[in-house]
Amino acid sequence: IADAKKLAEYKCDTNEAVCLKLVRFPEDLDDESTTFHPEYSHQLYGDDEVAFGYKGLQIQLYYSAGNLSTLFKVKYTARVTDTFDCVEPDDVEGKIREIIPAGFCCNTDDFISLLEKEANFRPFGSLLHTYKVHSVEAGEDLTYQIHKVDVSCPGFREYHERLQTFLMWFIETASFIDVDDDRWDFFLVFEKYNKDGETLYATVGYMTVYNYYVYPDKTRPRVSQTLILPPFQGEGHGAQLLETVHRYYCTSAKVQDITAEDPSENYVKLRDFVLVKLCLTLPSFSSEKLSQGFSEEMVSEAREKLKINKKHARRVYEILRLRNTDMSDEEKAREFRLEVKKRLYGPYRKNQRELTKMRKCLRPEELASHISQMDTRLQHEELEKSYQDVLAEYRRVLERLAQV
């Protein structure tokens, strides 16, 4: 038991042990405030996100800010084999080597000499959009650029291999993509910054989009991965990126509409905000038209001008309808509520139809278990809960919109 207690001291939380940095200046290496940690490490270190066999474990993955040249080191204050002969520590280093491409440095001097070459790094691909964000910390406006890249761009393939390692730490179900498939489009965000009088570029985040074929002659771009690196999160870069990507595909007659693969809750929030902002400019979404209800005109204008599909157009309509509704007026609030609930009721109605079919072919005791699942009172409660959830989501979008 004493041994078991002692062994427990050699467990480390891998989300804390992994230390990430985006390095601009040599002094960043020793500056604790520039370190950030993963949200997830289960893909490498198992569901418990624990590494066994070390005390004071630090897995350092430091990247140069632009080109993402990598410094990789593992440090610890004690290893289990120092005390226990027959207990093997986990191979924490091997796990990292599986995801980071070859060519990384293991010593700081080599990394610093690579850092000096950062002045030669230029963003890949073609510039689509430039924007400014006011930085309180810097006391000035900082400039950002969004570029579109395809994999044939010289040096991009190797750079992307370094960039995609971040997915493992910040996207719960991340997987690497096959860049040899030329249907992938890449969109990257860079920050321009000054160092010793020169202009340099830092990597901020990126989005990958896969162009699916739609019969007979269209494509449907599907957003696959979106990541804004933690030091830049909460500054509005995700919205800038998604809006730029939408505008890019809007100009192509070949594009049917834009979708997303298995979108996370955060992505849905982002998309709501961006699509509502874009639809505000469409005549079919004017205050007058909103009060007349959801129309085919909205569906076709959103699809033709902004490549937004019907389901998303409906959601935008509901958000803007809420914006135009005086919810303190009981009659108007009721009208809005019933309209949203009617849409939410769709899946329940399908259940009722299935139940009618079941009545014809199931034995009474089998039927009873199904009916209890679809009890009407319960349905009303669920519907009300769904409505309240949706209302809260819509209000968050409108709050953000009001700040623009």
Catalytic residues: 261
Contacts of 267-271 spanning 24+ positions with Cβ under 8 A? 267/223, 267/226, 268/393, 269/393, 269/396, 269/397, 270/226, 270/238, 270/239, 270/242, 271/242, 271/312
For residues 263 and 309, the answer to whether their CB atoms sit within 8 Å is no
Distance (Å, whole) CA 193 – CA 190: 10
3-state secondary structure of 387: helix
In the 3-class helix/strand/coil scheme, how is 48-92 assigned residue by residue? CCEEECEECCEEEEEEECCCCCEEEEEECCEEHHHCCCCCCCCCH
Q: Closest by alpha carbon to 23, among 115, 108, 160, 122?
A: 115
Confirm if 29 and 108 have CB atoms less than 8 A apart: yes
